[in-house]
Amino acid sequence: MNHHEFNENHDNPGQNNQLTPMDLLLDEEFLRQSVEAEELVGGNIGAGLNWGSAFDDLMLNFELMGRFTTLRISLNREVRLLLNDWNLGTATKIAVKTARARILEKLRLPTSKVRQSLLLTLENDELYGEEFISNHEVLRELLELLLTPQDWETIAAVAADSLKQQIIHQAVGEKISA
């Protein structure tokens, strides 16, 4: 069932083709379209993951899917805290945004090593008692695994370019007076 068929069924509730949330979760085309739609408006979800056959298992296990969301949010929070500690000034915001995009990319298309580490983390009951994962050591280890030196180079380059543009804008836009 695609998004259009969902809308038709949703708009005509008198029909016998009632959808359940499970119908939508199991429909790959609907998920793909939903992910694209959310990305267009800056949404940051994990529903577009490319985990092969492991994705079906993850989607069918609501507890693991909830944990995956908590893990993703915790990783985003941890990379923000890490970059804030580095005192990057005005470049911090774009560095965090770039790092989060890289993390999401790695979560969507994980290598077998990353997938294995993520699944082990998802199965660790001790990590999931609060809104966020508070074990910074576990999160930093995952960040080391997810973000390669090339990713950090990209993050640094984007942050440096942003800072350069700000300086040029200030210098040219403000017409520095002597």
Q: Tell me: the pLDDT tens digits for 99-133?
A: 999 999 999 888 999 999 998 999 999 999 888 99
What's the average model confidence in pLDDT over 21-46?
61
- From the CA atom positions of the chain, what is the Rg in Å? 20
Which string of b and e fits 47-82 if b means at least 16 CB within 10 Å?
Answer: bbbebeeeeeebbeeeebbebbebbbebbbebbbeb
Domain range list for the chain: 1-43, 53-174
Residue 62 pLDDT class (50, 70, 90 cuts): confident
Amino acid 102 reads R
Task: Please name the residue that has the structure tokens 């119908």.
Answer: 23
